[in-house]
Amino acid sequence: MSVYLDRFLNVPPARLLGEAMGAFDGLPAAPEVLLAGLLDAMDRPQQIDSAARLAARYTSFGHSAEKLIATLGHALLREDAGFHTFHNYEAAVRQYREWQGEPEAGNVLVALVGFLAAHSPTQRAQHQTADIALRLHRKVKIYEDD
């Protein structure tokens, strides 16, 4: 399986985050601070590891998984995400709920954070929105009925 992942999918093996590896050094404990940091990390490209560390720290304290899920939903909705990203979010949340109560359940949410962070930030439609607003301001027709 390792050869298949490395050679054909180009997916390096992922290691689980844990306190024994020093992954949480210097991270806060307060849930609100961790969630805010998570959103901040997802506003910047290539913050997969830092976002995953924040999520792992959050789950290691047993903070509310529902608040983490809601925060990840917020992060997803502010992006120009495609169908597959929404599908992966839904699947991970369902998988988490199936594993809820087991020690491994938090790993599902950490993996979801890594996936979303890898696809964040997307090219958001702010430029398009501003262009449409400017055209409307100039009274240019955007859409006409046949």
- pLDDT for 8 beyond 70: no
Q: Which amino acid is at 29?
A: A
Percentage of residues of the chain with pLDDT beyond 70: 77
Whether residue 20 is contained in a domain is answered as no
**The predicted structure's pLDDT at residue 122:** 72
DSSP secondary structure code for residue 10 in this structure? -
Whether residue 56 is contained in a domain is answered as yes
Whether residue 66 is contained in a domain is answered as yes
Residue whose C-alpha is closest to residue 47's, from 115, 125, 109, 123: 115
Whether residue 4 is contained in a domain is answered as no
Note the pTM of the prediction, 2 decimals. 0.72
Q: 59-102 pLDDT, tens per residue?
A: 989 999 999 999 999 999 888 778 888 999 999 999 999 999 99
Say which residue, 125 or 52, is predicted with more confidence. Answer: 52
Whether residue 22 is contained in a domain is answered as no
Say which residue, 27 or 97, is predicted with more confidence. Answer: 97
**The predicted structure's pLDDT at residue 1:** 65
Residue with tokens 């929404």: 86
Whether residue 7 is contained in a domain is answered as no
Whether residue 101 is contained in a domain is answered as yes
Q: 33-57 pLDDT, tens per residue?
A: 999 999 999 999 889 989 999 999 9
Which residue range forms the structural domain that includes residue 49?
Answer: 28-137
Domain count, the chain: 1
Whether residue 2 is contained in a domain is answered as no
Residue whose C-alpha is closest to residue 56's, from 90, 15, 97: 15
| Residue 139, phi-psi category: left (phi > 0), alpha (psi -120 to 50), beta (remainder) | left
Residue whose C-alpha is closest to residue 65's, from 103, 109, 9, 33: 109
Q: What does 50-99 look like in DSSP terms, one character per residue?
A: HHHHHHHHHHHTT--HHHHHHHHHHHHHTS---HHHHHHHHHHHHHHHHH
Report whether 57 contacts 93 (CB < 8 A). no
